[in-house]
Chains A and B, each alone.
Chain A
Amino acid sequence: MSRIELKKLVKRFKDTAVLSGIDLDVPEGSTLVLFGPSGAGKTVLLRCIAGAVEQDGGEVLIGGEDVTDVLPEHRGIGMAFQNFALFPHMDAFDNIASPLTACGRTADQIRAGVDTVAKLLKIDHVLSHTPKALSNGQKQRTALARALVSRPKVLLLDDPLRNVDAKLRFEMRLELPRLLADQGATVIYVTQDYREAMALGDRIAVLDGGRIIQNGTPEEIYRRPATINIAKLFGDPTINLLDVVPQSDASGVYASLSDRRIQLDPGLSGTVGRECVLGLRPEALSFTDADEGVPVTIEAETPFNEKTVTLVTTLRKREILVSRPAEMPAPTSGMAHITIDPSDAVLFDRQTGVRLDPNGTSHAAEKAA
């Protein structure tokens, strides 16, 4: 009853289309992460669902019902804003209580409701403070409490962790899935942080230029990104991208790197001779003793969040980043060999940027189109 569906949703500002035909289906009780660079239209999309902005075309369905003509206050939605949007002239209690006062609860019911959610989010000691007197973390929790307090069946969370410090962001990232599961709500969660997206989403929809360019599980997005752009948005350090032209012989399909072969999936035989880009995730690459690995020169090594990132160059001076857990031993200078499992290599069309799927043409791209 709280499934969210968007059908051919269009929103224009003046003459520029911000959303051009969004189709989305979020099953009841699941969490969809809406991911994309700023200006991609994420916030506008959320506002269309909430009714704060009116769409120019298409439909928004909540629980199977078209809500286009339903006023925002009657859509039964809880929403948290990136800038918190707390009511500055009310204390935290009244802020959180505002969804309850709207539906005519008694004072006792309101107090009980606010206390429960405030305890859950550990802000019960600051309920008498005005937003001005709250820390950023407390503001964020107050905003979240306000969204949750009436136990809405649809929750829209617009980058709620963006303006809080790293430590709290991490803690909230761990706590949120349980919190959301307890609510049983259907959630759309907007973020620019790919880690947050992977951790929180049952599915991730990648939005760019007003279109959804891929909608898949975190695994699909990370391992089989539909386009080069998506591959670049997920992962830190970012994916290595190398121009290659796949070749084939009796042993299978391969790409050449420093005159050595990077074996590719045999299903990619259709790409032989085509101008492609090979994507290699830094953590999927590893150093090897074996001579059949790709010979590289080690240029520099930087520690990075318990990982060690090594910059290496191929014989033709192409730069590749290799990352490994900090405690894992590896050569630190001179020549070395690197290798990758064929299943971890992804291939994109150089012209269109679309991923080439081993089991057919560009499957993922078709789905997105």
Chain B
Amino acid sequence: MDHRSALERILRAIALTAIVVFFMFPIFWIVLMSLQTNETILRSPPSMSFVPTLKNYAAIISGELDSNAGTMSIHFMNNLLNSILLSVFSVALALLLGVPAAYAFARHKFRGSEDIAFTLLSFRFAPPLLVLLPLTLYFQALGLANTYLGLVWVYQLICLPLILWIVRGYFEDISPDIEHAYRIAGHGWFATFRKIALPLAGPGIAAAGLLAFIFAWNNFVFALVLASADKQPVTVGALAFVTASGIQYGQIAAAIVMSIAPTLLLALWAQRYLVEGLSLGAVKG
């Protein structure tokens, strides 16, 4: 359908470009910054012309941070590894627990099922700091403070409700008739869950998993309070760049680029699963 005039089309294109530039500019600027030294970044007026350098990346990877005051050692690569470990295990656990739970909530309406589902969601309402204080005390008493296990557990507060509520919607969208048909064909409920419900909700599970991963990756306060230096993810580790002798913009930029890279790659890879249609034309209409 095209009733628009040429002018309208041009204006639309301009507006779209403006929006894209607006959102992409910070990322673009950070990539540029990561390739410059602190001096070229801070010159006034700012200029787009500079000699690109990989010094910042080298410093981050080797853990030798150059500053005006001299070199200091940081653990950025360790932080990155922590982020990956924490996010991957948190999402894996949340999927393991959340997907079957979502299926149960979608298919079996029992007394109080809505209340339980809502309670799980309500974890997201409370300000994290409020939860953290008592949690720290418990964790210390249990010996869970500053362990990966403890952190992965706390991360379920972020991942589980997200996965539960998104995946539940996808399960509800599958026609119950399709599952009934498989049951009547002679398969048990678990086979039906595995062979019918899981594949059909696949795109939804992928989307929920990706979102949960991003949320886990970006978490700051839980790790700040509950983890010491060797367990901290990049979000907390980045604090190290704020040194007494100034802020190392170039190195921060390089660290940012390296820390958004995993989520970005994951999102690009998962995209083909996300766009896959849900129903694929099984049911008429």
The interface of chain A, by Cβ under 8 A from chain B, is 47, 50-52, 71-75, 77-79, 81, 83-89, 98-99, 101-103, 130-132, 136, 139, 146, 150, 163
- CB atoms of A89 and B280 under 8 A apart: yes
Q: For residue B284, which residues in chain A have a CB less than 8 angstroms away from its CB?
A: 83-84, 136, 139, 163
Per-position 1/0 for B200-213, Cβ under 8 A of A? 10000000000000
Q: Does B175 contact A (CB under 8 A)?
A: yes
When the two chains form the complex, which single residue of A50, A99, A101, A131 contacts B180, counting CB atoms closer than 8 Å? A50
A328–B196 Cα gap in the complex (Å)?
A: 57
Q: For residue A98, which residues in chain B have a CB less than 8 angstroms away from its CB?
A: 181-182, 185-187
When the two chains form the complex, which single residue of A51, A146, A163 contacts B185, counting CB atoms closer than 8 Å? A146
- CB atoms of A84 and B183 under 8 A apart: no
Q: Does B282 contact A (CB under 8 A)?
A: yes
Q: For residue A131, which residues in chain B have a CB less than 8 angstroms away from its CB?
A: 280-282
- CB atoms of B187 and A81 under 8 A apart: no
- CB atoms of B186 and A85 under 8 A apart: no
A61–B63 Cα gap in the complex (Å)?
A: 75
Given contacts A50-B180, A52-B180, A98-B182, contact A85 B187 (CB under 8 A): no
A85–B284 Cα gap in the complex (Å)?
A: 8
- CB atoms of A150 and B283 under 8 A apart: no
A130–B199 Cα gap in the complex (Å)?
A: 14
A102–B187 Cα gap in the complex (Å)?
A: 6
Known: A73-B185, A87-B178. 15 other contacts (CB 8 A): A72-B183, A73-B187, A78-B184, A79-B181, A85-B177, A86-B282, A86-B283, A88-B282, A88-B283, A102-B185, A130-B280, A132-B281, A132-B282, A139-B284, A163-B284
Given contacts A47-B180, A50-B180, A72-B180, contact A84 B185 (CB under 8 A): no
- Number of interface residues, chain B, beta carbon within 8 A: 24
Q: Does B71 contact A (CB under 8 A)?
A: no
A83–B283 Cα gap in the complex (Å)?
A: 5
A103–B177 Cα gap in the complex (Å)?
A: 21
- CB atoms of B183 and A87 under 8 A apart: no
The interface of chain B, by Cβ under 8 A from chain A, is 175-178, 180-188, 191, 196, 199-200, 279-285
A165–B185 Cα gap in the complex (Å)?
A: 27
- Least CB distance, A106 to chain B, in whole angstroms: 16
- CB atoms of B183 and A52 under 8 A apart: yes
A136–B180 Cα gap in the complex (Å)?
A: 21
A132–B200 Cα gap in the complex (Å)?
A: 14
When the two chains form the complex, which single residue of A51, A73, A85 contacts B283, counting CB atoms closer than 8 Å? A85
When the two chains form the complex, which single residue of A47, A73, A88 contacts B186, counting CB atoms closer than 8 Å? A73
- Least CB distance, A291 to chain B, in whole angstroms: 56
- CB atoms of A83 and B285 under 8 A apart: yes
A52–B182 Cα gap in the complex (Å)?
A: 11
A83–B181 Cα gap in the complex (Å)?
A: 11
> In this complex, which of B177, B185, B188 has the most chain A Cβ atoms within 10 angstroms of its Cβ?
B185
- Least CB distance, B178 to chain A, in whole angstroms: 5
- CB atoms of B185 and A85 under 8 A apart: no
Given contacts A84-B283, A86-B282, A131-B282, contact A50 B178 (CB under 8 A): no
Q: For residue A77, which residues in chain B have a CB less than 8 angstroms away from its CB?
A: 184
- Least CB distance, A85 to chain B, in whole angstroms: 4
- Least CB distance, B7 to chain A, in whole angstroms: 41
Q: For residue A74, which residues in chain B have a CB less than 8 angstroms away from its CB?
A: 186
A132–B281 Cα gap in the complex (Å)?
A: 5
A143–B184 Cα gap in the complex (Å)?
A: 13
- Least CB distance, B106 to chain A, in whole angstroms: 16
- Least CB distance, B158 to chain A, in whole angstroms: 31
- CB atoms of A89 and B281 under 8 A apart: no
When the two chains form the complex, which single residue of A47, A51, A88 contacts B281, counting CB atoms closer than 8 Å? A88
- CB atoms of A89 and B199 under 8 A apart: yes
Given contacts A98-B187, A99-B186, contact A85 B281 (CB under 8 A): no
A98–B279 Cα gap in the complex (Å)?
A: 19
Given contacts A50-B180, A136-B284, contact A88 B279 (CB under 8 A): yes
- CB atoms of B183 and A73 under 8 A apart: yes
- CB atoms of A102 and B186 under 8 A apart: yes
Q: For residue B196, which residues in chain A have a CB less than 8 angstroms away from its CB?
A: 87
- Least CB distance, B255 to chain A, in whole angstroms: 42
When the two chains form the complex, which single residue of B180, B199, B280, B285 contacts A85, counting CB atoms closer than 8 Å? B180
Nearest-CB residue, chain A, relative to B195: A87
A146–B178 Cα gap in the complex (Å)?
A: 12
> In this complex, which of A51, A75, A130, A131 has the most chain B Cβ atoms within 10 angstroms of its Cβ?
A131
A71–B186 Cα gap in the complex (Å)?
A: 9
Q: For residue B182, which residues in chain A have a CB less than 8 angstroms away from its CB?
A: 87, 98
Q: For residue B199, which residues in chain A have a CB less than 8 angstroms away from its CB?
A: 89
- Least CB distance, B189 to chain A, in whole angstroms: 8
When the two chains form the complex, which single residue of A71, A72, A132, A150 contacts B280, counting CB atoms closer than 8 Å? A132
> In this complex, which of B191, B200, B284 has the most chain A Cβ atoms within 10 angstroms of its Cβ?
B284
- CB atoms of A50 and B184 under 8 A apart: yes
Q: For residue B187, which residues in chain A have a CB less than 8 angstroms away from its CB?
A: 73, 98, 101-102
- CB atoms of A73 and B282 under 8 A apart: no
Nearest-CB residue, chain A, relative to B202: A89
24 contacts between A and B (CB under 8 A): A52-B176, A72-B180, A72-B183, A72-B184, A73-B186, A79-B181, A81-B180, A84-B284, A85-B177, A85-B178, A85-B180, A89-B199, A98-B181, A98-B185, A98-B187, A99-B185, A102-B185, A102-B186, A102-B191, A103-B186, A131-B282, A132-B281, A132-B282, A163-B284
- CB atoms of B184 and A52 under 8 A apart: yes
A101–B188 Cα gap in the complex (Å)?
A: 12
